[in-house]
Structure 1
Amino acid sequence: MEGTSRTEKTECTETRPSTRSSLCMRLTAPRTSRHLFPRAGYGESDPNPGRNVKSEALDIEELADQLELGQKFHVLGVSMGGYSVWGCLQYIPHRLAGATLVVPVINYWWPSFPAELSRQTFKKLIVPEQRTLWIAHNAPYLLYLWMTQKWLPSSAAAMHHPEIFSKHDMEVIQKMMATPRIIENKSRQQGIYESIHRDLLVAFGNWEFDPMNVTNPFHTNEGAVHIWQGYEDRLVLVELQRYISKKLPWIQYHEVPQGGHMFMLVDGWTDKIIKTLLVGEEASPI
Structure 2
Amino acid sequence: MILAASQELIDELGIYFLSFDRAGYGESDPNPKRSVKSEAFDIQELVDQLLLGNTFYVLGVSMGGYPTWGCLRYIPHRLAGAALVVPVVNYWWPSLPSNLSREAYKKQLLRDQCSLWIAHYIPQLLYWWMTQKWFPCSSLVEENPKIFTMKDKAIIEKMSGNLTPNKTKVRQQGLFESLHRDLMVGFGTWEFDPADLINPFPQTNGSVHIWQGYEDPFVPSLIQRYVSWRLPWIQYHEVTDGGHLIMYDTGLFESILRALLH
Q: Mark yes or no: TM-score above 0.5.
A: yes
Shift of 1:264: 1.4
Instruction: Determine if the alignment matches structure 1 residue 62 to structure 2 residue 62.
Output: no
- Is the Cα contact below 8 Å between 1:31 and 1:278 reproduced in 2? no
AA at the equivalent of 1:77: G
Asked if the contact 1:77/1:100 (under 8 Å) is kept, the reply is yes
Matched positions, count: 252
Once the two structures are superposed, residues 186-225 of structure 1 have per-residue CA deviations (whole angstroms, 9 ceiling, x without a partner) of: 1111110000000000000000000110110000001000
Contact 1:228 1:254 in 2 (8 A): yes
2:166 & 2:139 partners in 1: Cα distance?
Answer: 26
Q: C-alpha distance in 1, partners of 2:117/2:161?
A: 35
Where do 4+ consecutive residues of structure 1 move more than 6 Å?
A: none
Equivalences for residues 253-264 of structure 1 within 5 A: 253-264=236-247
Aligned residue runs from structure 1 range 101-140, under 5 A = 101-140=84-123
50, 66, 69: which is aligned to 1:86?
A: 69
**Offset at residue 185 of structure 1 (A):** 4.5
SS at match of 1:177: coil
Name the TM-score, length of structure 2 as normaliser.
Answer: 0.92
The answer to whether the Cα contact below 8 Å between 1:37 and 1:60 also exists between their aligned partners in 2 is no
Q: Which of the numbers 3, 17, 20 marks the counterpart of 1:37?
A: 20
Kindly provide the CA deviation profile for residues 4-62 of structure 1, in whole angstroms up to 9, marking residues without a partner as x. xxxxxxxxxx49xxxxxxxxxxxxxx944110132211111111111000000000000
Residue matched to 1:278? 261
Decide which structure has greater strand share: 1
Per-residue displacement from partner, 1:227-250 (whole Å, max 9, x unpaired)?
Answer: 000011000010100000100000
Q: Aligned to 1:37, what secondary structure does the other structure show?
A: coil
Given the alignment of the two structures, is residue 243 of structure 1 paired with residue 233 of structure 2, yes or no? Answer: no
Q: CA deviation at 1:267?
A: 2.3
Whether 1:100 and 2:83 are equivalent positions in the alignment is yes
Deviations along 1:126-178, one digit per CA (max 9) or x if unpaired, are: 11000000000011111000000000000111112234311111111111116
Paired with 2:182 and 2:165, the residues of 1 have a C-alpha distance of 27
Counterparts of 2:153 and 2:125, CA distance in 1:
32
Q: Give me the whole-angstrom Cα distance separating, in 1, the residues matched to 2:220 and 2:111.
A: 16
Q: Matches of residues 154-169 of structure 1 in structure 2 within 5 Å?
A: 154-169=137-152
Match of 1:221 in 2: 204
1:234 is matched with: 217
The yes-or-no answer on 1:192 pairing with 2:181 is no
User: What one-letter code is carried by the residue in structure 2 that aligns with 1:76?
Assistant: L
- When residues 152 and 186 of structure 1 are mapped into structure 2, their CA distance, relative to the original with a 3 A threshold, is same
3-state SS of paired residue (1:122): helix
1:146 equivalent in structure 2 = 129
Aligned match of 1:49: 32
Separation in 1, partners of 2:210, 2:109: 24
Give the distance between the partners of 1:167 and 1:50, measured in 2 at CA: 38
Amino acid in structure 1 at the alignment position of 2:19 = L
Percent sequence identity over aligned pairs = 58
Structure 1 residue 120, shift from structure 2 partner: 1.0
Greater relative CO (CA pairs within 8 A, separation 6+): 2
Q: TM (normalized to structure 1)?
A: 0.84
CA distance in 2, matches of 1:107, 1:254: 19
* SS of residue paired to 1:76: strand
* 1:62-121 CA distance string (max 9 Å, x none): 001112111110000000000000000000000000000000000000000000110111
How large is the Cα RMSD of the aligned pairs? Answer: 1.8
Write 1 or 2 for the structure with the bigger share of helix. Answer: 2
Instruction: Give secondary structure in 2 for the equivalent of 1:65.
Output: helix
Structure 2 runs not aligned, ≥5 long? 4-12
Deviation at 1:274, TM superposition (A): 1.4
How far, CA to CA, are the matches of 2:102 and 2:144 in structure 1? 22
Structure 1 residue runs without a partner (length 5+)? 4-13, 16-29, 280-286
Q: Secondary structure at the match of 1:205?
A: coil
